[in-house]
A and B are shown apart, each in its own frame.
Chain A
Amino acid sequence: MTKAAEVNEMKVIVFQLMNKEYAIGLDVVESIEKSLSITRVPRMPSYVKGVLNLRGVVTPVVDLRERFDMEYKEFDETSCIIIVSHAGSEVGLIVDDANDVMDVPTSAIGPQPEVVGSVESEFISGVAKVGKRLLVMLNLEKVLQPIKKGNTDGF
């Protein structure tokens, strides 16, 4: 029966945004990078910070705080970039801190509480309660919807 228990757990990476804890599955995470030099890409939504050179691959970077309309924060010593692989290409996510890998039983993941007006609700696939910690599970599909058109206002 231990085997069944293993299947029902998933490994997640826990990261912080505005002192709240979020999680994404370990299987989509490629690496976690500290500060790298980012090249700005013009005419992009403000949450697209630009692109960086990740071992020879040009990788776009998204600031999750700005993506979720949170308060802007400069990149500091705890900030880091989580490189996730999504739909065949890699994207970097800037988060406040990433410090934990843990097993979450799938049974502990429930639907997100229905709160009216929650800004980031569409980016969330569920909420996991592990002990006293509450982890918000990210819906990468929604967060990383391709940006089809550059901001072409005025042209």
Chain B
Amino acid sequence: MDVSQYLDMFIEESKEHLQACSEQLLALENNPDDLAIVNEVFRAAHTLKGMSATMGYEDIADLTHKMENVLDAIRNSKISVTTEILDVVFEAVDDLELMVQDIESGGNGKKDVSKLVDTLNRIEAGQPLDLVTEPAATTEEPFIEVVTSTGIHYDEFELTVISQSAEQGFNALEITVTLREDCLLKVARVFMTFEILEKSGEVIKTVPTVEQLENEDFDQKFTIVLLTQEDAEDLKAKVLKVSEIEDVHITYITDEYVQKYKQAALNTKDPEPEVVETIIVPVAEVATTKEVPKEAVKTKKATSSNSNKTIRVNIDRLDILMNLFEELVIDRGRLQSIASELHNPELNESVERMTRVSGDLQNIILNMRMVPVETVFNRFPKMVRQLARDLNKKIDLEIVGAETELDRTVIDEIGDPLVHLIRNALDHGIEMPEERIANGKPEIGTVTLRAYHSGNHVFIELEDDGAGVNRERVVGKAIERGIISPEAADSLTNKQVAELILASGFSTAASITDVSGRGVGLDVVKNTIESLGGHISIDSTEGKGSLFQVQLPLTLSIISVMLVELDKEIYAIPLSSIIETAIIQKSDILNAHNQPVIDFRGTIVPLVDLKDIFEMKNRSNEEDEFQSIVIVRKGESLAGLVVDSFIGQQEIVLKSLGEYLQNVFAISGATILGNGQVALIVDCNALIK
């Protein structure tokens, strides 16, 4: 079978399932007794197994199969959850991720997993894992099973699930499907039935087992136990639509029955499977008597129709849409400039309308490219867990605002800087447990990763309750490394000192560790964030902890700029860095040690003549009595850019200068103006030291 056309979908879904596995495993570690979590992991692993087997990736299927066995043993209380077992399962998930990545990059997904498989086998058999002895006490507990009149055995876990879901308004149905005798592809029919039922609810058990069903190891009949809010008759009609099905018989498993059975089980504690008289209510009767509030049914329907309204769109198509829209923005600019020259009211009106509509369109398109920051955050819990173990520290990671959305281009770039910041916080921020206790802090350190929207920006904050920045050590180091002069050190504020650790060549950790690298990290973080048009700042209180705040633009592709003229050339200054514009008298310009400055609302602001920077020869404006100034900022510092004149504000599409011209000084990119000319975008960050 040619499966290549499904490859993309396979990779995508595998990643989702593996992500679900990791998340649930982390949750399981905190709640080792919650069998519902085990079930989630089991389901994800099971789906993955099925998919990879279909696609012919046997190593993945093999490993997931073994993982599944271990999980199965856990949920049947044959073995109990320990950190050691979870470590092995995590390792298995890591390996699976590697294999999926290999497939994604064109490999065959093969990997030697025999050792892991072996370890998993031993866990499953309840054997001691290496030298760790696990009392296998749980295995000896009485094993409770129930048999209904349809001959289906339920264990304690399944009963719990059934009674729990009954409380939430879900009914448990036993659906017995009989296939026609001449049915050729029994597996296919089983699969189709499953597909229908899984849309309506949750399949918790099948008789025979899924494995036997997959191997066609059954006669004409099979039974599925389903948790659903849908009506039995509806389900029956749906299942009957699958061809080659002879009959569908549905019975309700009532709550009374479950309760009664449980009581019986508690009373007897009989390890032998026990046949209890069951109460099976005929479907018709249930339909009239069952007490599912109509409201609940309605709301359920409403939500399910809502969730169906998403589609997966190839990212390339969105990029094409974006490119086309960018062309439109350029033409819009051209129309606007033509209209302003012609002074035709009707033209003006329709151009204005078009501007409004395309503005809305722009919002929608940008929103479509938004991705929750979760896609970056979700790999951190596992990383923190691993790092904390490597460092022998106790650390909790809290994630707030993972649903905050950011443009995909920003998302793609922000992952590595954040990894670096987190590693830094774990390694240098949080102290060892003993030290924390000695300082009267809780033994477990907390690192909070927070994302939120504010204005036209997204903020990502990383807060730790660790040691904070030690002013003396940082200043000492900075002087030693020649980053600041000893004289300057005293005048620095605490915030400025904290931000010194972002300077290149700075590392205060006494020894170089594998975790947060060799002090090349934080300045790279700073550069990456600034190249994204963002900004990073640090607030730190010694002994209390630090707060790293990263501010990012919502999108990178369309920005608002102020167009200015310099010797007949047009330059664009991003609005995000402009504080205000001013026209000043020449006599207001002062000189401070060869550096022209102005007094701007009580602050001394250095002036930068853009004509000097951009090597322009024509300096006709020297004699002018008035000078146009754009006040820009980078972090806390300001500068005034001297220009010839202001043209106006415009939305522009950011374009790169290409491979050939790299790192042009003080130019961050280019854009195409309404008249088809290229204008360069001024990089204010480079102009302010």
What 1/0 mask marks residues of chain B from 585 to 622 whose CB sits below 8 Å from any chain A CB? 00000000000000000000000000001111000000
Known interface pairs A37-B677, A58-B670; A42-B614 also in contact (CB < 8 Å): yes
Please indicate the chain B residues that have their CB under 8 angstroms from the CB of A125 in the complex: none
Known interface pairs A51-B657, A58-B658; A43-B678 also in contact (CB < 8 Å): no
B672 touches A89 (CB 8 A): no
B676 touches A37 (CB 8 A): yes
Please indicate the chain B residues that have their CB under 8 angstroms from the CB of A91 in the complex: 658, 660
User: Which A-chain residue is minimally distant from B669 (CB atoms)?
Assistant: A58
CA distance A89 to B659 in the complex (A): 6
B662 touches A146 (CB 8 A): yes
Contact residues, B67-117 vs A (CB, 8 A): none
Contact residues, A41-79 vs B (CB, 8 A): 41-44, 48, 50-53, 56-60, 62
A58 touches B659 (CB 8 A): no
Q: Using a Cβ cutoff of 8 Å, how many contacts connect chains A and B?
A: 93
Please indicate the chain A residues that have their CB under 8 angstroms from the CB of B659 in the complex: 87-89, 146
Q: How many whole Å from B664's CB to the nearest CB in chain A?
A: 5
A60 touches B663 (CB 8 A): no
Question: Contact residue range for chain B?
Answer: 20 to 34
Q: How many whole Å from A83's CB to the nearest CB in chain B?
A: 12
Please indicate the chain A residues that have their CB under 8 angstroms from the CB of B665 in the complex: 42-43, 149-152, 155
User: Which B-chain residue is minimally distant from A56 (CB atoms)?
Assistant: B327
Question: Contact residue range for chain A?
Answer: 20 to 34
Q: How many whole Å from A57's CB to the nearest CB in chain B?
A: 7
Please indicate the chain A residues that have their CB under 8 angstroms from the CB of B43 in the complex: none
Please indicate the chain A residues that have their CB under 8 angstroms from the CB of B679 in the complex: 39
B678 touches A51 (CB 8 A): yes
In this complex, the member of A60, A86, A88, A144 whose beta carbon has the largest number of chain B beta carbons within 10 angstroms is A60
Please indicate the chain B residues that have their CB under 8 angstroms from the CB of A88 in the complex: 659
What 1/0 mask marks residues of chain A from 113 to 129 whose CB sits below 8 Å from any chain B CB? 00000000000000000
User: Which A-chain residue is minimally distant from B689 (CB atoms)?
Assistant: A155
Question: CB of B330 within 8 A of chain A?
Answer: yes
CA distance A52 to B657 in the complex (A): 10
Question: CB of B680 within 8 A of chain A?
Answer: yes
Please indicate the chain B residues that have their CB under 8 angstroms from the CB of A40 in the complex: 569
Question: CB of A21 within 8 A of chain B?
Answer: no
B660 touches A147 (CB 8 A): yes
Question: CB of A133 within 8 A of chain B?
Answer: no
B contacts, CB < 8 Å to A: 326-327, 330, 569, 613-616, 655-667, 670-672, 676-680
25 residue pairs of the A-B complex, CB under 8 angstroms, read A39-B677, A41-B657, A41-B664, A42-B614, A42-B616, A43-B615, A44-B661, A50-B678, A51-B661, A53-B672, A53-B677, A56-B326, A56-B330, A57-B655, A58-B656, A58-B671, A86-B660, A90-B658, A147-B660, A147-B662, A148-B662, A150-B664, A150-B667, A151-B665, A155-B665
